[in-house]
Amino acid sequence: MANAAHLENAVELDGKDLPAFCPNSAMPVWSSHPRVFLEMSHDGKAKCPYCGTVYALKPGTVVHGH
């Protein structure tokens, strides 16, 4: 249950939002930290090592490799 609640607060990303990075543009400037690019796990989730913000791919998102 706790895991589901944690993902409820996740920032959802679409294919056009990749590569994922934090801080995102919706975050206030005063709370910024150095930009870090996030590697999405196989289950489509990533967590920022600085602020702990969780990012998740929207269901059905297709990720294209380089």
13-50: per-residue pLDDT in tens?
998 999 999 999 888 888 789 999 999 998 999 999 99
Higher pLDDT, 60 or 55: 55
Residue 65 has pLDDT above 80, yes or no: no
Q: What six digits make up the tokens of 44? A: 């489509």
pLDDT given at position 63 = 73
pLDDT given at position 60 = 87
CA dihedral (28, 1, 13, 58) positive or negative: negative
